[in-house]
Amino acid sequence: MKKTQLLNSELSLVISKMGHTDMLAIGDCGLPIPDETKRIDLALIKDLPTFMDTMKAILLELEVEEVILATETKDINPNIFNQIKEEIKDTKVTFISHEELKVKLKECKAVVRTGEQTPYANIILKSGVVF
């Protein structure tokens, strides 16, 4: 049995295959996921799992060197933005428009869909290296 905390096999597999600068997105339940991008659907019911719980679980396994956020997140969902900043500490943050973020999902190894139902609760995590 797996010893680390992340139990979802699909998510664990994607993370284990990621290399330096590969990207993984986490989104609210309304984020449109491109057909060509792998979807890991964790959504059960409204707000389960939450965006933050999902992001925290992923950060246990994935070394992140940069995060990409929609500029709109700061103003429209400051609660999520502040929680993200608290979790990622000094990790580099790049801001792009929400429309650009949706296009960038095509470059991600996967998009993790949560049950989150607050606007702009979306992030792209860029993989770092552990050495």
The response to whether 122 counts as a known ligand-binding position is: yes
pLDDT, position 4:
83
Predicted model pTM: 0.96
pLDDT, position 33:
98
Q: 30 with 114: CB under 8 angstroms?
A: no
Residue 121: closest CA among 39, 38, 55: 55
Residues of the chain under the 50 pLDDT cut = none
Q: CB-side exposure of 67: number of CA atoms within 13 Å?
A: 22
Q: Which two tokens mark 130?
A: 């552990």
Domains of the chain: 9-127 (3.40.1650.10)
The response to whether 98 counts as a known ligand-binding position is: yes
pLDDT, position 2:
72
Q: Which of 20, 56, 92, 106 is catalytic?
A: 20
Q: How many residues comprise the chain?
A: 131
